[in-house]
Structure 1
Amino acid sequence: MLTSTLLAAATTPLQWSPAVGVTMILCNILAILFGRYTIKYPNAEPALPPNPVLGNFGVPALLACAAFGHILGAGVILGLHNLGRF
């Protein structure tokens, strides 16, 4: 019974396209912008080389923003796929 319910809820597989890639990139940029203004200690050690795009981010802040951006991007892409946009 549970297996048939899960199979009925399954959707078509998501095919990668440039729109999916652009969506992921935009979500990562949004996460970096969000992190730039909300992380309490963005320049924690080890530091990254100076970069005007990333500001004074250290490695921990950059990894945190990238991880959040990928989680956000996966949610947006799967949500749009569920709505039939991708």
Structure 2
Amino acid sequence: MYSTLLLAAASTVPQTVEWSPKVAIVMIVCNILAIAFGKFTIKNQNVGPQLPSPAMFGGMGLGALLGTTSFGHILGVGVILGLANAGVL
């Protein structure tokens, strides 16, 4: 009984898009947009440990960079899955 239930559940799993340069470009663009969004909205960007090259990220600290890139990856996953379902990727 359990094996047929697991088989039925496994057959309804949607296919995900495989990695390609298009997928990488979408993720990079989403991360750049998230960093830019964080640059203009985070009040205390330089609180906490500093990056080795703070000028590269506009003076953002490590916490702000980790927060914005985490948001960028969540945003990127949503965009990639949406574009894959639309048939663009």
Answering whether residue 10 of structure 2 is matched by residue 32 of structure 1, we say no
- In the alignment, structure 1 segments of 5+ residues that lack a partner are none
CA RMSD of aligned residues (A): 1.8
Look up the match of 2:46.
43
Structure 1 Cα separation of the partners of residues 61 and 54 of structure 2 = 11
Answering whether residue 70 of structure 2 is matched by residue 67 of structure 1, we say yes
**1:45, distance to aligned residue in structure 2 (A):** 1.3
Answering whether residue 46 of structure 2 is matched by residue 54 of structure 1, we say no
The alignment-based identity, stated in percent, is 49
Structure 2 Cα separation of the partners of residues 47 and 13 of structure 1 = 37
3-state SS, counterpart of residue 43 of structure 1? coil
Alignment: residue pair count: 82
Using the size of structure 2 for normalisation, the TM-score is 0.82
- In the alignment, structure 2 segments of 5+ residues that lack a partner are none
**1:48, distance to aligned residue in structure 2 (A):** 1.4
Q: More helix by proportion, 1 or 2?
A: 2
The letter of the residue matching 1:48 is L
Structure 2 Cα separation of the partners of residues 34 and 45 of structure 1 = 19
Using the size of structure 1 for normalisation, the TM-score is 0.84
Look up the match of 1:15.
18
3-state SS, counterpart of residue 56 of structure 2? coil
Structure 1 runs of 4+ off > 4 angstroms?
none
Larger-gyration structure (1/2): 2
The letter of the residue matching 2:71 is F
